[in-house]
């Protein structure tokens, strides 16, 4: 198959071929996260499953830096490549990866030391706190690899090696699933076995790209001698602030969801929300994967001042997002009850709660794709402020308000509707930015 370069003109077919590895990569990553939940729920029990879902938002927050530097850094690196400055692009790339390693080590140490009081603060009871700590500490020990794996997903696209990223993600995912089966299903190691399986897969996902970029290669990127560059680091962080905000906000909001659910529905509510999040990971993986794949294209053509191609990418992306949004919504509603039975079919009450919640939550898929792409589009244009503002509204401000206010009127259903309301209100803001900024960026 012919390699597709950043500088080409993109038809629908060529655009989908280019972003497909990123989409599959995101789906695979989501699936092997879900496999953890499946094995823990069905082999280790409801308490262990609740513990996993209670501590998981913290672990995602700890790894959010990798998403920020990966997406924001790839936008800056691809922009620099578009300007024809390849050596400078490699210096920035190398510096950003080293930053992830250093900061990741500090975050891992702090998290490892304070995981128990954090677990209590998140609502852990004596029955599940030890399992929260065990799962958390194992994955915190691998946090640097998790952050690197996240960042490499974007940088491999910029290096025109998206297929390699896909292969690595699939290999990591298969490894995780096999180890889950062996450690949890066969050896009965419970939540510790699930955490070890995930940590091992993250190690593989980080080490292979590291060795690739260390050696001479034919891609656009490789590690070179570099030096601290606070301006470039600041620009990368600014570009990727929306992705950082998305992950941090999702973690904070997840903690708030769990707190409200324990108050209104008990530990069953946390378990039900956990199942819904696993399903949402898969359905939203398309939108996130598309955003990651299209981001370097947008950054490159913006850097090259190719306004015609930038307009072409924008229009095709909106059409693809529209079709995917309708499809995702219909399929997720149809599968709500069957998927609930797969995870918690052993508990009829919990299964019914999960199915209803998932049906309501599915309505958000009709809206979220436009917000995700809108934020990523401005990241690609190196406008981190607008990108971050959209994400800030979508994933934090509006959801927090909705989670607190709606249950006062609708009870448990109000919690499930919170994300739908937040996405709908954010969509108004996203379209307003897209309309008002079109002349400034010529798309």
pLDDT digits (tens, 9 = 90+) for 176-228: 889 999 999 899 898 999 999 999 999 999 999 999 999 988 888 999 999 88
DSSP string, 19-77: HHHHHHHHHHHHHHHHHHHHHIIIII-HHHHHHHHHHHHHHHHHTHHHHHHHHHHHHHH
- Does 34 score more than 80 pLDDT? no
The 10s digit of each residue's pLDDT in 108-133 is 999 889 999 999 888 788 888 999 99
Contact of 240 with 70, CB cutoff 8 Å: yes
Burial group, residue 345, by CB count within 10 angstroms (0-12, 13-18, 19+): middle
The 10s digit of each residue's pLDDT in 259-317 is 888 788 877 888 888 888 878 888 888 998 898 888 888 888 888 888 999 999 999 99
Q: Please report the pLDDT score of residue 2 as a whole number.
A: 62
Using CA atoms, how far apart are residues 394 and 376, in angstroms rounded to an integer? 13
DSSP 2: P
Both tokens of residue 145? 């690899």
Q: CA–CA distance from 428 to each of 294, 363, 400, 431 (Å)?
A: 22, 16, 18, 5
Helix axes 190-214, 129-141, angle to 10 degrees: 10
Contact of 165 with 22, CB cutoff 8 Å: yes
Q: How confident is the model at residue 356 (pLDDT cuts 50, 70, 90)?
A: very high
- 329-336's contacts with Cβ under 8 Å and 24+ in sequence apart are 329/362, 329/363, 329/365, 329/366, 331/283, 332/279, 332/283, 332/358, 332/362, 332/365, 333/359, 333/362, 335/279, 336/362
Q: Return the half-sphere exposure (C-beta side, CA atoms, 13 A cut-off) of residue 125.
A: 11
CA 245 to chain CA centroid, nearest Å: 11
In three-state secondary structure terms, 220 is coil
The span from the first CA to the last CA of the chain, in angstroms, equals 30
User: Quick one: average pLDDT of 366-388?
Assistant: 89
- Does 53 score more than 90 pLDDT? no
């Amino acid at each position: 198959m012919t390699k597709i370069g950043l500088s080409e003109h993109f038809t629908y077919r060529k655009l989908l071929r280019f972003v497909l590895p990123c989409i599959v990569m995101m789906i695979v990553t989501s699936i092997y996260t879900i496999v953890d939940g499946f094995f823990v729920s069905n082999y280790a029990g409801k308490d262990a499953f609740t513990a996993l879902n209670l501590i998981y938002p913290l672990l995602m927050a700890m790894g959010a830096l990798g998403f920020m530097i990966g997406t924001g850094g790839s936008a800056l690196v691809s922009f620099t490549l578009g300007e024809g400055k390849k050596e400078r692009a490699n210096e920035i790339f190398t510096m950003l990866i080293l930053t992830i390693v250093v900061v990741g080590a500090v975050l891992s140490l702090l998290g490892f030391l304070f995981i128990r009081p954090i677990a209590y603060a998140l609502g852990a009871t004596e029955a599940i706190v030890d399992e929260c700590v065990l799962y958390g500490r194992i994955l915190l020990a691998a946090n640097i690899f998790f952050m690197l794996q996240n960042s490499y997903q974007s940088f491999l696209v910029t290096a025109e090696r998206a297929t390699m990223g896909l292969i690595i993600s699939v290999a990591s995912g298969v490894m995780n699933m096999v180890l889950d089966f062996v450690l949890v299903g066969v050896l009965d190691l419970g939540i510790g076995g699930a955490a070890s399986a995930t940590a091992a897969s993250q190690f593989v996902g980080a080490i292979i790209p590291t060795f690739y970029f260390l050696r001479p290669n034919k891609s656009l990127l490789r590690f070179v001698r570099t030096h601290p560059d606070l301006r470039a680091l600041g620009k990368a962080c600014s570009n990727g602030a929306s992705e950082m905000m998305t992950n941090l906000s999702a973690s904070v909001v997840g903690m708030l969801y769990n707190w409200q659910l324990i108050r209104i529905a008990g530990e069953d509510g946390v378990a039900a929300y956990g199942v819904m999040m696993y399903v949402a990971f898969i359905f939203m993986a398309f939108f996130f994967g598309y955003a990651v794949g299209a981001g370097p294209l947008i950054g490159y053509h913006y850097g090259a001042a190719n306004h015609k191609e930038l307009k072409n990418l924008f229009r095709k992306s909106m059409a693809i997002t529209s079709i995917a949004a309708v499809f995702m919504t219909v399929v997720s509603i149809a599968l709500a009850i069957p998927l609930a039975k797969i995870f918690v079919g052993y508990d009829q009450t919990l299964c019914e709660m999960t199915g209803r919640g998932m049906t309501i939550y599915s309505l958000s898929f009709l809206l979220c794709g436009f917000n995700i792409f809108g934020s990523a589009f401005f990241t690609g244009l190196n406008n981190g402020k607008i990108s971050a503002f959209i994400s800030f509204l979508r994933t934090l401000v509006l959801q927090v308000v909705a989670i607190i206010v709606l249950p006062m009127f609708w009870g448990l259903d109000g919690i499930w509707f919170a994300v739908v309301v937040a996405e709908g209100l954010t969509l108004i803001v996203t379209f307003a930015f897209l309309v008002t900024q079109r002349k400034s960026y010529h798309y």
